[in-house]
Amino acid sequence: ENPYMVLVIGVDEEITDLIVHDKTQLIVSKHTAGKNFNEECLLPNLRSLHIGKNVEYIEQGVFLSTTLLTDIQVSPENKTLHSQNNCIIETESKELIIACKTSTIPDDGSVTRIGVRAFAFQQERKLLIIPDAITHMESNAFIFCPNLETLVIGSGVEKIEHDQLIGCDNFARIYYMGTQEEWEKIDIAGRKSTGGVSFG
């Protein structure tokens, strides 16, 4: 009933730059019936995104598959979210929730968690560096990045959730910046072996 409280986005191929109103508090997605997150891109031509000062919540999937997105900004007045290095970060939890193809993970301690599907569907990315400050990588963080070849994982990681690399058809190697002994102590969902991992 209040259009400034909830922004509902359906498929819109015309939007290239999106400025979310300062009064908007919630951003939620409305997918086509019967489709799921990896079948439909809501804003396929989005290149620039600006989040207003009162946004408190962004539902997963709203900006998923926006492969042309290169510029992400959050109002400096926002008390819940902030942007850095073209990433959207939940300030209190230090979780990176949205990234784009130009994003790099901050290494200053402002991010300690990589959120669910944060880097999903990035078609051009070949390399991703996980800084030492990251302790937790949530599930599906890098899925459907078909050209991703290399992950460099910092020595601070303590937990890696399941299904990180589904649809990463060219993935070849992990470089872990700690020792093999430290790698063995990481809580990795479905761990089978250390094969394919190079150590620091």
Could you tell me which of 135, 175, 169 has the C-alpha nearest to residue 153? 175
81-129: pLDDT as tens digits: 999 999 999 999 999 999 999 999 999 999 999 999 999 999 899 999 9
Percent of the chain with pLDDT over 90: 64
The answer to whether the beta carbons of residues 168 and 174 sit under 8 Å apart is no
For the chain, what is the mean pLDDT? Answer: 88
Average confidence (pLDDT) over 57-71: 86
Contacts of 93 (CB under 8 A, 6+ apart): 113
pLDDT score recorded for residue 33:
54
pLDDT score recorded for residue 119:
94
The answer to whether the beta carbons of residues 122 and 143 sit under 8 Å apart is no
Rounded Cα–Cα distance for residues 133 and 29 (Å): 31
Q: Is 183 helix (H, G, I), strand (E, B) or coil?
A: helix
Could you tell me which of 34, 41, 13, 18 has the C-alpha nearest to residue 122? 41
Predicted TM-score (pTM) of the model is: 0.89
